[in-house]
A = this chain, B = another copy of it.
Amino acid sequence: MRLGEGVEWGLHCCVTLGWLEGEGPVSIRRLAAWFDLPQEYLKKRLQALARAGILTSTPGARGGFALARPPERITLMDVVAALEGGEEFFRCEEIRQRGAGAVGARFDGPCGIAAAMRRAELAWRRELAAQTVADLMAGSPASAERARRNYARLGG
């Protein structure tokens, strides 16, 4: 099992957009050049973040993407759910109700296996929800300064 690359891209883009706050919207072309990523596919992923209300997108010349709210109010869970669809890892197909093993059984309560997997999944989601983009920005303070410098250079 594996998360899509779009999660890494989206998180890095959110952090960078946080650092570039105040510079106006950042075009997808610049963001793709920023991380050397395929422009068209990165656009698709950021559009998903915009649909989820995490980014704002302004069309037209000098348009682009920006954070829709302050980075303290964007959790990693928000980003992951927007990019991965928010579905659960484990989908219970209720195989306990099928086949010869189910003969004569009553299935009142929920499947214990599904409940156990859900517990683990909730722990994951809780941990993701406890961390925000602002935390990630604070993780490497020197980078904010460099981001502004590099963005000015890229602007040409």
Residues of A within 8 A of B (CB): 1-5, 7-9, 11-12, 15-16, 33-37, 76, 84, 87, 89-93, 95-96, 98-101, 103-105, 109, 112-113, 115-117, 119-121, 123-128, 131, 135-136, 139-140, 143, 146-147, 149-150, 153-154
**Cβ contacts A to B, 29 pairs, < 8 Å:** A1-B3, A1-B4, A1-B84, A1-B89, A3-B91, A7-B117, A8-B90, A8-B92, A9-B95, A11-B113, A12-B113, A33-B100, A35-B95, A35-B99, A36-B98, A36-B100, A76-B116, A76-B117, A100-B154, A103-B153, A105-B146, A112-B140, A115-B139, A116-B131, A116-B135, A117-B128, A120-B124, A120-B127, A121-B124
- Contact present for B95 and A36 (CB under 8 Å): yes
> What residues of chain B lie closer than 8 Å to A33, measured between beta carbons?
99-100
- Contact present for B96 and A12 (CB under 8 Å): yes
Min CB–CB distance A38 → chain B (angstroms): 12
> What residues of chain B lie closer than 8 Å to A1, measured between beta carbons?
1-4, 84, 87, 89
Give 10 nearest A-B pairs by CB, closest first: A112-B139, A36-B99, A120-B127, A124-B124, A34-B101, A36-B98, A123-B127, A123-B123, A35-B99, A3-B89
Min CB–CB distance A79 → chain B (angstroms): 10
Q: Which of B7, B119, B150 meets A131, CB within 8 Å?
A: B119
